[in-house]
Amino acid sequence: MIANKDSLKLAYSLKVEGIIWKIILDEAQDIMVWECRKADKSITFYAYDFINKQLLLDAYAFPPDWQLNIHTVHQGILYFTGLESEFSPVQKGIVAMDLSTKATVWQNFSVGLQAFTNEGIIAYDARLLPRKFVLLNAQTGVLLQNIETKDINNFTYLGNDILLPKMLQGSAILDTRYVLNYHNLTITSFFEPNNNAYKQLIEVQKNGQLLLQEIMNSEIQKLSFDTFFVWHNRLVYLKNKSEIVTYFV
Domains in the chain: boundaries: 16-154, 162-248
For residue range 34-72, list pLDDT tens digits in order: 999 999 989 999 999 999 999 999 999 998 878 899 999
pLDDT at position 86: 65
Q: How far is residue 177's CA from residue 25's CA, in Å, rounded to a whole number?
A: 25
Return the number of other C-beta atoms located less than 10 Å from residue 43's C-beta.
20
Question: What is the percentage of the chain residues whose pLDDT exceeds 90?
Answer: 75
Top pLDDT among 14 and 130 is at 14
Question: What is the percentage of the chain residues whose pLDDT exceeds 70?
Answer: 94
SS3 content of the chain, % helix, strand, coil (to 5): 5, 60, 35
Do residues 140 and 106 touch, judged by C-beta distance below 8 A? Answer: yes
pLDDT at 4 over 70: no
pLDDT at position 221: 76
Give phi and psi for 21, each to the nearest 5: -95, -35
CA-nearest of 67, 153, 161 to 117 is 153
Query: In CATH, what number does 16-154 get?
Result: 2.40.128.630
pLDDT at position 84: 72
pLDDT at position 171: 78
Type of residue at 175: D
CB proximity list for 101: less than 8 A, separation 6 or greater? none
Q: By three-state DSSP, how is residue 118 classified?
A: coil
Do residues 55 and 47 touch, judged by C-beta distance below 8 A? Answer: yes
CA-nearest of 162, 164, 161 to 226 is 164
Q: How far is residue 108's CA from residue 162's CA, in Å, rounded to a whole number?
A: 31
For residue range 78-124, list pLDDT tens digits in order: 999 987 766 666 778 999 999 999 999 999 999 999 999 999 999 99
pTM above 0.85, yes or no: yes
Mean pLDDT of all residues belonging to the chain: 91
